[in-house]
Amino acid sequence: MAAIDHFWAVIPAGGAGTRLWPLSRSSVPKFLHDLTGGGRTLLQDTRDRLAPLAEDRFVVVTGRPHREAVLGQLPEVAPDLVLAEPAPRDSMAAIGLAAALLERRDPDDAVMGSFPADHVIPDPHGFGEAVRTAVEVARDDWLVTIGIEPTFPSSAFGYVHLGEPVDGHPAARHVQEFVEKPSVAVATDYVATGRYRWNAGMFVVRPTVLLDLLARWHPAFAADLRAIAAAPERLDELWAGLPKIALDHAIAEPAAAAGRVASVPSAFHWEDVGDFDALATLLTGAGSVTVLGDDDLVRPVDASGLVVPAAGRVIAVVGLDDVVVVDTPDALLVTTRARAQDVKQVVEGLKQSGRADLT
């Protein structure tokens, strides 16, 4: 797979992964974990699948508390391109900061692709081909999303509504609109039409196009980001005033309405791994109990489900089906795959009762 000239991989490494508690914590969030058992963390996997395309052109944007961990996990990335947000400001600020930096560093030819650090994509080749196509479209000043083919009518993801093919780019489609997480019934209709794709938050765009689109709807926001890139010492001062808004709401939705967004529909296997049910599906192997970690520690008797022995202790599970047991040194979760979404209630409860240290 050949590298793409002037292609810059941007990795916003944020998000707590609350529904993966107690494995994922605000102190050690989802992207810093090896959730596939393959020996690499989600962040490292994200870099690995982009390296053939971007070579050493990476920008990582993460929270200040996680910068050291990110540097440790990604020795291949230049430290000055691992940016630390002074405080969480959602995805528009994070990705916009990378765009402003790249606009100055590689003003004429840069195309950036932004890819969340915490997704699982077992098909790097299919992914790479989609990115290559998206970059070609983006060079013509489109804001390009990669549209994931739905494998079921999920109510957990937003969708992009595909329009007609893009002139000169037959593999790309106009995006008519972004739609928020629908009900399962609505999602079923979407999937049946064949004209909807999951929005996985993967955007490919020229940095200047991104910032100019932002300037159209949020001019002060774009100006502040460009000011930070011009004078990095002003980061703390200006960052505090930035709006807390997702890129989707800030620019993708209005730009779609303005006919500026294209999508590259793709069929590579993609997993959000949003909760332990999804993780169990991803990992399910031959045994009745799926183990993320050392198999020898898990002793099932008439049991099935997912067990994560992350504290090094022996775990016996007797007579429970589709159970989820996640064992960490200071907190233990016992639930079922069907109730995996409700783990966030536990995290909220801990915060409310003064045990935010565990979240």
In residues, how long is the chain? 359
Q: Rounded to the nearest 10 degrees, how much is the dihedral formed by the CA atoms of 16, 20, 25, 31? A: -60
Min separation Cβ 329 and a second copy, Å: 7
287 binds a second copy (CB under 8 A): no
Nearest to 146 by CA among 65, 265, 313: 265
Interaction pattern, residues 21-50, with a second copy; x per rule: CB under 8 A: xx----------------------------
Nearest to 128 by CA among 191, 54, 75: 54
Min separation Cβ 69 and a second copy, Å: 23
Work out which of 96, 329, 351, 356 binds a second copy, going by CB under 8 A. 329
Work out which of 104, 155, 349, 356 binds a second copy, going by CB under 8 A. 349
Q: Is 9 exposed, middle or buried (0-12, 13-18, 19+ CB in 10 A)?
A: buried
Q: Using CB under 8 A, which of the segments 7-15, 33-41, 140-148, 338-346 binds a second copy?
A: 338-346
Collapsing DSSP to helix, strand or coil, 61 comes out as strand
Min separation Cβ 229 and a second copy, Å: 43
107 binds a second copy (CB under 8 A): no
The answer to whether residues 95 and 101 touch, using CB atoms and an 8 Å cutoff, is no
In whole angstroms, what is the distance from residue 255 CA to residue 258 CA? Answer: 5
352 binds a second copy (CB under 8 A): no
135 Cβ contact partners less than 8 Å away, ≥ 6 residues apart? 4, 7, 111, 113, 204
Work out which of 220, 234, 299, 356 binds a second copy, going by CB under 8 A. 299
Work out which of 129, 345, 351, 356 binds a second copy, going by CB under 8 A. 345
Q: Is 109 exposed, middle or buried (0-12, 13-18, 19+ CB in 10 A)?
A: exposed
Min separation Cβ 313 and a second copy, Å: 5
| Residues 341-350: contacts with CB under 8 Å, at least 24 apart | 341/19, 341/275, 341/277, 343/18, 343/19, 343/20, 343/21, 343/275, 343/276, 344/18, 344/19, 344/21, 346/21, 347/18, 347/21
343 binds a second copy (CB under 8 A): yes
Q: Is 75 exposed, middle or buried (0-12, 13-18, 19+ CB in 10 A)?
A: exposed
356 binds a second copy (CB under 8 A): no
Report phi then psi at 138, rounded to 5. -65, -30
Work out which of 141, 180, 236, 302 binds a second copy, going by CB under 8 A. 302
DSSP 241-252: TS----HIIIII
What would the two tokens of residue 210 be?
A: 């991104």
147 binds a second copy (CB under 8 A): no
Min separation Cβ 16 and a second copy, Å: 16
Q: Using CB under 8 A, which of the segments 32-40, 42-50, 211-219, 345-353 binds a second copy?
A: 345-353
291 binds a second copy (CB under 8 A): no
Q: Using CB under 8 A, which of the segments 30-38, 45-53, 160-168, 320-328 binds a second copy?
A: 320-328
223 binds a second copy (CB under 8 A): no
Q: Using CB under 8 A, which of the segments 7-15, 176-184, 214-222, 333-341 binds a second copy?
A: 333-341
Work out which of 90, 136, 272, 327 binds a second copy, going by CB under 8 A. 327
Min separation Cβ 280 and a second copy, Å: 15
Min separation Cβ 115 and a second copy, Å: 31
Q: Which residues bind a second copy (CB under 8 A)?
A: 21-22, 299, 301-302, 313-320, 323, 325, 327, 329-336, 338-339, 342-343, 345-346, 349-350, 355, 358
